[in-house]
Amino acid sequence: MQDLLNEIAEAMAAETERGKVADYIPELAHVDPKQFAISLATVKGERYSAGCATTPFSIQSISKVFTLTIALGKMGDALWSNVGREPSGDPFNSIVQLEHEGGKPRNPFINAGAIAVVDAIMMGHEPKETLAELLSFVRYIADDESICFDHVVAASEMAHRDRNASLAHFMKAFGRLRHDVDKILGTYFHQCAIAMSCEQLAHAGLFLASDGVNQPSNIRVVSPQRARRINSLMMMCGHYDASGEFAFRVGLPGKSGVGGGILAIAPGQGSIAVWSPGLDDYGNSLLGTKALEMFVQRTGWSVFGH
């Protein structure tokens, strides 16, 4: 397995077409597009990495998996009255469906859906309290107390919030959000600005690969049914309007972020984190996807088999 990851890292280092780093969040525009990392944490407790796998990056929308997990823990199926479970077929920051569908976002992974999830988990609390809860959850599942928010990235998103603010105000106009829009957005941007390395992220995703049980502590995080459902949402919606393409090429539940990271889950096998900051036209990591495609071709770990 270590040889395979080394091979993938070498192949990615040789790529010349690396995509485009997100620049609509100015702080992310500074990131060096030449970086690449891959980490695998297996359900048996093995760890493999190649590339700069201990370098922290902005996990951005990958964090939506963690807030969804918290929201389902707090309110269970009641969450689905305000957030759908269907792929959107539209870009992550699109507003068009919201008007037709009464302000109810299609799924928890597009921005509108993730903002609604944040509103749901706030439950009358101040952003600070919600963020403390989120951070301790992420530190727990990653088994790493050093994980932090990148406040500079969060501030950069807040300063350029017009698009996400439009989504939030629009949903609020339909009576879908309970809290003050700026407080929801401040919380959402900090969530997106969590900085993690591939090693930490692969570890954090492990509970989804092992029927909801955290490894190596063996403590249950969610029920097997909930792990299965989160994985199915990642498969159908985790790459926005390129989710079909990701399923076709990789065939694993996956969640991308505009920081260039992807968390992919191979149920029963392990959790894989990749990072390459350059994005494709859909806002998903160009080489991250390529690396995962190579990984499943060699391991046969796609949920659809070889």
Ligand X SMILES: NC(=O)CC[C@H](N)C(=O)O
**Restricting to residues 281-300, which ones interact with ligand X according to CB under 6 A?**
283
Beta strands 270-275; 37-42: pairing state: antiparallel
Q: Per rule CB under 6 A, is residue 258 in the interface with ligand X?
A: yes
Q: Per rule CB under 6 A, is residue 157 in the interface with ligand X?
A: yes
Residue nearest ligand X, CB atom distance: 61
Map residue 251 onto helix, strand or coil. Answer: coil
**Out of 258, 274, 296, 303, which one is annotated catalytic?**
258
Spatial contact of 131 and 162, defined as CB atoms under 8 Å apart: no
**Helix, strand, coil in percent for the chain, rounding step 5:** 50, 10, 35
Q: Which is nearer to ligand X, 212 or 277 (CB)?
A: 277
Say if residue 216 is preceded by a cis peptide, omega within 30 of 0.
Answer: yes
Q: Which is nearer to ligand X, 212 or 260 (CB)?
A: 260
Question: What's the closest the beta carbon of residue 28 comes to ligand X, in angstroms?
Answer: 9
Question: What's the closest the beta carbon of residue 153 comes to ligand X, in angstroms?
Answer: 9
Question: What's the closest the beta carbon of residue 60 comes to ligand X, in angstroms?
Answer: 3
Question: Which residues on adjacent β-strands are paired with residue 58?
Answer: 195
Q: Per rule CB under 6 A, is residue 166 in the interface with ligand X?
A: no
- Please indicate whether residue 24 is annotated as part of the active site: no
Helices marked H in the chain — which ranges?
Answer: 2-13, 63-75, 96-100, 111-122, 127-142, 151-159, 162-173, 181-192, 198-209, 224-237, 243-249, 286-299
- Please indicate whether residue 276 is annotated as part of the active site: no
111 annotated as belonging to a binding site for a ligand: yes
214 annotated as belonging to a binding site for a ligand: no
Nearest residue to 48 via CA among 191, 215, 199, 173: 199
Distance (Å, whole) CA 221 – CA 195: 22
Question: What's the closest the beta carbon of residue 283 comes to ligand X, in angstroms?
Answer: 5
**Out of 39, 61, 276, 302, which one is annotated catalytic?**
61
* Number of residues written out for the chain: 306
284 annotated as belonging to a binding site for a ligand: no
Q: Per rule CB under 6 A, is residue 111 in the interface with ligand X?
A: yes
99 annotated as belonging to a binding site for a ligand: no
- Please indicate whether residue 156 is annotated as part of the active site: no
Q: Which of 4, 7, 55, 93 binds ligand X (CB under 6 A)?
A: 93
Question: Which residues on adjacent β-strands are paired with residue 149?
Answer: 194
Q: Per rule CB under 6 A, is residue 192 in the interface with ligand X?
A: yes
Q: At what angle do helices 181-192 and 162-173 cross, to 10 degrees?
A: 130
152 annotated as belonging to a binding site for a ligand: no
Side chain identity at 264, as an amino acid letter? Answer: A
61 annotated as belonging to a binding site for a ligand: yes
Question: What's the closest the beta carbon of residue 27 comes to ligand X, in angstroms?
Answer: 11
Q: Per rule CB under 6 A, is residue 215 in the interface with ligand X?
A: no
**Out of 240, 243, 274, 296, which one is annotated catalytic?**
240
Q: How many C-beta atoms lie closer than 10 Å to residue 175's C-beta?
A: 10
Question: What's the closest the beta carbon of residue 59 comes to ligand X, in angstroms?
Answer: 8
133 annotated as belonging to a binding site for a ligand: no
CA dihedral 177, 151, 242, 12 (to 10 degrees): -170
Catalytic residues: 61, 64, 188, 240, 258
Binding residues (CB under 6 A) for ligand X: these are 60-61, 92-93, 111, 157, 164, 192, 257-258, 283
Q: Which residues are annotated as a binding site?
A: 61, 111, 157, 164, 188, 240, 258
